[in-house]
Amino acid sequence: MTCTGIHPMSKPALATSFFGKTPAGEEITLYTLTNANGMEVGIINFGGIITRIKTADRQGQFADIALGFDELEPYLQASPYLGALIGRFGNRLAKGRFELDGKTYQLETNNGANHLHGGSVGFDKVVWQATPFTADTHVGVKLFYLSRDGDQGYPGNLSVTVTYTLTNEDEILVDYHATTDQATPINLTQHSYFNLAGQGEILQHELMINADAFTPIDDTQIPVGELRSVAGTPFDFRTPKAIGADIQRDDDQLRCGLGYDHNFVLNKAAPKKLTLAARASEATSGRVLEVYTEEPGVQFYSGNFLDGSLSGRGTTFAYRTGFCLEPQHFPDAPNQPDFPSTILRPGETYTSRTIFKFLVR
């Protein structure tokens, strides 16, 4: 596998353009990052959303491989977290409740009986303060948001910085940094939907996930508390296989998730070590995506709730036309004492790095 060749004398570039206004009148800006190879990433300061990722195939032809929109309005409405930053707590919290230091907190239940992705006004639905930057080898945007005490029911004033960097190695670096003045759960992630062919179903994409175990769920998609071996199950992606190879198997976990919508327990030499979490590839285009993370888990979601009701840039987002690989701590961790802790306390600093690396085979 090789990266796209760097063009002589090319340097990364950054352009800004108007993307719309929120109902409150806040102006939203699109930051278009382009590296020395011509790879392009669009980011808006609403929701920290990645609106597009243009990469080359083996013929050198560029296509957008991330599901997204060219205008703000769909992101304001029922967008299923397309390309968004997720917080304060990515994934689900059972019944929207958790106990912390002897106090019970009740959050909004916006996913059936459970709390999902920080609530109906999570980090995907707020305006971030953006600072773009450029250098000889990279270009990016630093985003800042102050989530105030009581935001969506969470305790503490949480100061969050997320930095997106596009490198000349065709990598998108996502660096998270947060501090708080009260103990609070935090689990930040990035929710881009990928389709390495640029269109069509993703079931023929080959996927490898570097995990010997996953966290099985109940019928409300809350972990049951077990770390279950992937061996002999449809969840064994240790050797690359097509996403669709086992997705129709008669399996209780596939029924619970309506397909793949599960957290995988990554194989790690050390808890915070930057580790290859997953590799996806698409044979026709030759495009490859590698995901590296310091997080202990990655949520693999096979686009089970895409139903064709949304479209963008001439493409309908139909059933299983995009997949997500969301590096994260485990779902419902504040209620699962055996899971790695997600509690951030005053004086501590939350940091995490994820890398989305794009190659051609």
Residue 56 parent element (H or E):
strand 50-56
CA–CA dist 303, 349 (Å, integer): 33
Among the listed residues 351, 304, 295, 339, the one whose alpha carbon sits nearest the alpha carbon of residue 324: 304
| Residues with Cβ within 8 Å of residue 161, at least 6 apart in sequence | 142, 143, 144, 176, 177, 178
Q: Write the CB contacts of 252 (distance below 8 Å, at least 6 apart in sequence).
A: none
**198, 285 in Cβ contact below 8 A?**
yes
Which residue from 296, 312, 267 is spatially nearest to 77, judged by alpha carbons?
Answer: 312
Amino acid at 21: K
Maximum C-alpha span of the chain: 61
Residues in Cβ contact with 293 at an 8 Å cutoff, skipping those fewer than 6 apart: 266, 274, 275, 277, 327, 352, 353, 354, 355
Active site residue 191: yes
Give the span between the Cα atoms of 84 and 45, in whole angstroms: 10
Secondary structure (DSSP) of 229-262: E-TTSTT--SS-EETTSSTTS--HHHHHHTS-EE
Phi and psi at 151, nearest 5°, equal -55, 120
Q: Kindly provide the b/e burial profile for residues 13-23, where b requires at least 16 CB atoms within 10 angstroms of the residue's own CB.
A: eeeeeebbeee
Catalytic residue among 191, 205, 262, 329: 191
Q: Which helix (H) or strand (E) holds 6?
A: none
In three state form, how does the secondary structure of 115-134 look? EECCCCCCHHHCECEEEEEE
Asked about 326 being catalytic, the answer comes back as: yes
Give the alpha-carbon dihedral of 264, 203, 87, 75, to 10 degrees. Answer: 180
Candidates 169, 294, 295, 326; catalytic one: 326
Active site amino acids? 191, 326
